[in-house]
Amino acid sequence: MDLDNQATIKQLVDAHGAENLVVVLGMSGEGVRIAAETLTTGDPSWAGPLAGVSLGLPVYHILEERVRTRLPAEIYAEKVQLMEMVLDVAQIEDALAGLRKTQAKRS
Amino acid sequence: MIPVLRAAVNTLVHVPDLVRYGSKPFREGSRPGSFLADLKARLRTFEDAAAYPPHQAFIGNLRPESLADIPSPWYGHPLPGASHQGPFGEILGQGPFYSMLEKADQFGLVSLDAGWTPPANGASAAAKGLMSAGARRGTEKEIRRRIGSGEALALEHEGALIGCIRRDHEEDESLAARVLLENLAAKASGAHALRLLLEKARLPAEEVDYILSCSEEAIGDRYNRGGGNLAKAIGEMAGCPNAAGTDIKAFCAAPVYALVHAAALVQAGVVRNAVVVGGGSLAKLGMKSHRHIEKRMPVLEDVLGGVAFWVGPDDGESPRLNLEMAGRHPSGRPSTPQGMMEALVCEPLARAGRKLREIDKYAVELHNPEVTLPAGAGDVPLTNYRTLAALAVIRGEIGREEIPAFIRDHGMPGFAPTQGHIPAGVPYLGHALAAMRAGTMKSAMVVAKGSLFLGRMTQQADGASIVVES
Amino acid sequence: MFDGKKVIALGERDGIPGPVLAECLQAAGTEVVYQTTACFV
């Protein structure tokens, strides 16, 4: 995950507190896992400001059922829905579910 | 005057010792740690880079579709008997390229060691014509002094110091050594692509009227960063005395904009022969190298790309650039993948009364997935083809179950180096020309996108498209 | 899930871009404190 973004997110956590923040992703494939891992257990590449930093932020993807059902249907249908056919939703849900399971075991 | 695509050329320059000056490796390498040593250990030889299947597809020795039959990883399956010359391209080595950098420089910025003779690496006559005669070489002592004082960057070949490039102003960051290296690399690799185009297409240099550069570099000084006109500098270096020119800047979509502009100039009769040329992006070398190192792969972003296209009046043989089907993405449209594809693909098709399946091939951003997937950046062409197929489904043109067949028939695996503007669909034009001349293809649509938001002036993305048809 | 929380929206050009994530979330009554779009190429 982009190093500048890592720094910005670290600042946001300092300013607002991790308990008050939620992350929503819109990327595809392996990028989802990398971003989610970076924002929960720390930067897996050990290159950025979040290396070794466990922010433990809740991370969701906009295409997950639990997220998309909370969004206004009209905007979602117009600007997002088509991507359900493009991105692998099952893979995204699996990647995030796996990470949440690991998180729950740790805490 | 109907504008046609007379010829297309794709070039690569293998520059392992310049990867460290890519933006990402330069930053990583300036931090404490073993990054530069790890990088060095994972660089490829010229032979390995030349035999790499995507590179062979890039210069026309392999059809892009054939990549699907080569087992993964492609770097583990070099093409037997691969040549660095192809029907519409060339893979050039670093030795001749250093000599071209020296020739591209008119300000004494590049000093090569007088004791070093750049190897020709079997370069084409076009490339050899751009190599310097070596009249202005420096001594090793002088080169070391310049590097030691901080005014110059070291140029190495196979690990040995062979020269340097210096800044041209102490305070002007637009004229810093690394910026000038990027600019000269774009100029020299662009001139190489143009010169090869002239030779392959037998287009006399004197007959080129206009050059549009779609290279990414922002040539200028501190009062006009991005002032531009690399086009004219490339034309001069390639020996086109009658060509004027200008640059088209539009992030990675620039090559398609440039083709649209070139076709429009020819159609309007403003010029007879226009050439679109793009030199390589040094800043993007090794952009994902830390991931490649982590995965114990070769550092695959070790080549500069180049493209050149000749747009001229109808010769009765070459495929037409159909301006009535040029696609654009107005600023009032959403910058979503759907919004982009509707504007760039569906609307031009609707104007011509055609369906998505009625274009034989779509050339989208053709980034080599073997470079992007290990870095978590996805398979860019595949994602774009899925978006197109999904649009065909919601428009009722195909059934959901036909998505894989649509992608197979109308798409292709990515085979272009991750050089920003270079993968912008246009590397397929050489293949399309060959297929159209052989009568096996009627139409191809080139679709490029640009991430305008990276420049912080707008949150929008952009794109452009054009149809080539026999 | 979002009740009383502030949201960080991380989009991608070829996926769902940041401004679209933000638009959807704001329309759902959520406060977005940061949105960005990645271009991986």
Q: What is the mean pLDDT of residues B250-264?
A: 98
Looking at the partner chain, which of C14, C20, C37 has a beta carbon nearest the beta carbon of B383? C14
**What confidence score (pLDDT) does residue B342 get?**
98
Is 80 exceeded by the pLDDT of residue B48?
yes
Query: Are residues A26 and C18, on separate chains, in Cβ contact within 8 Å?
Result: yes
Cβ-defined contact of C34 to A62 (cutoff 8 Å): no
Say what the pLDDT of residue A3 is: 82
Average pLDDT over residues B429-436: 98
Q: Domain of residue A16: give its range.
A: 3-106
In contact, B78 and B48? CB cutoff 8 Å: yes
Q: Render pLDDT for B165-203 as a digit per residue (tens, 0 to 9).
A: 999 999 999 999 999 999 999 999 999 999 999 999 999
CB contact B399 to A (< 8 Å): no
CB contact under 8 A, C41 and B420: yes
Tell me the residues of chain B between 19 and 38 that have a Cβ less than 8 Å away from chain A: 28
What's residue C3's pLDDT?
A: 86
pLDDT of residue B135: 72
Chain C residues whose C-beta is within 8 A of a chain B C-beta are 13-20, 37, 39-41
Hey, of A1, A82, A83, A92, which one would you mutate to test binding to chain B, going by the most B CBs within 10 A of its CB?
A82
What is d(CA A2, CA A50) in angstroms, rounded to the nearest whole number?
11
Domains in chain B: boundaries: 3-313, 320-469
pLDDT tens sequence across B55-100: 999 999 999 999 999 999 999 999 999 999 999 999 999 999 999 9
CB contact under 8 A, B375 and C40: yes
pLDDT digits (tens, 9 = 90+) for B114-125: 999 998 888 999
Q: Which of B310, B196, B212 is nearest to B254 (CA)?
A: B212
Q: Does B340 touch chain A (CB under 8 A)?
A: no
Residue pLDDT tens, chain A, 107 long:
888 889 999 999 999 999 999 999 999 888 999 999 999 999 988 888 999 999 999 999 999 999 999 999 999 999 999 999 999 999 999 999 998 888 777 66
Chains that touch C (3 or more CB pairs under 8 A): A, B
CATH fold of B320-469? Peroxisomal Thiolase; Chain A, domain 1 (3.40.47)
Test the C interface: residue of A6, A24, A64 with most C CBs within 10 Å = A24
Which structure tokens are listed for B378?
Answer: 């996805």
Min Cα distance C22 → chain A (Å) is 9
* Distance from the C19 Cα atom to the nearest Cα atom in chain A, whole angstroms: 10
Q: How far does the CA of residue B56 sit from the closest CA of chain A (Å)?
A: 28
Under DSSP, is residue B443 helix (H, G, I), strand (E, B) or coil?
strand
* Closest C-alpha to B108, from B180, B13, B195, B21: B180
Has residue C19 got a pLDDT over 90? yes
For an interface test with C, which of B453, B458, B460, B462 has the most C Cβ atoms less than 10 Å from its Cβ?
B453
> Is the CB of residue A95 less than 8 Å away from at least one CB of chain C?
no
Of B109, B108, B95, B111, nearest to B17 by C-alpha is: B95
Which residues in chain A are closer than 8 Å to C23, comparing Cβ atoms?
75, 79
Instruction: With CB atoms and an 8 Å threshold, state whether A79 touches B338.
Output: yes
Domain count of the fold of chain A? 1
Nearest CA in chain B to A87: B383
Burial of B330 per CB tally in 10 Å (0-12, 13-18, 19+)? exposed
Asked if residue B311 lies in contact with residue B274, where contact means CB atoms within 8 angstroms, the answer is yes
Q: How many CB pairs under 8 A join A and B?
A: 49
Inter-residue contact C25 to A40 (CB < 8 Å)? no
pLDDT for A47: 80
Nearest one of B352, B365, B353 to B423, comparing CA atoms = B365
Task: For residues B324 and B318, give the distance between their C-alpha atoms in angstroms, rounded to a whole number.
Answer: 18
pLDDT computed for residue A107 by the predictor = 62
Whether residue B73 is preceded by a cis peptide bond, meaning omega within 30 degrees of 0, is yes
Assess whether pLDDT exceeds 90 at residue B137.
no
Q: Is the pLDDT reported for residue B136 higher than 80?
A: no
* Chain B partners within 8 Å of A47 (Cβ): 28, 290
Q: How far apart, in whole angstroms, are the C-alpha atoms of residue C41 and residue C26?
A: 28
Q: Mind telling me how many Å the CA of B244 is from chain C's nearest CA?
A: 32
d(CA B2, CA B314): 5
pLDDT in tens, B207-249: 999 999 999 999 999 999 999 999 999 999 999 999 999 999 9
What are the structural domain ranges in chain C? 6-38
CA distance C12 to chain B (A): 9
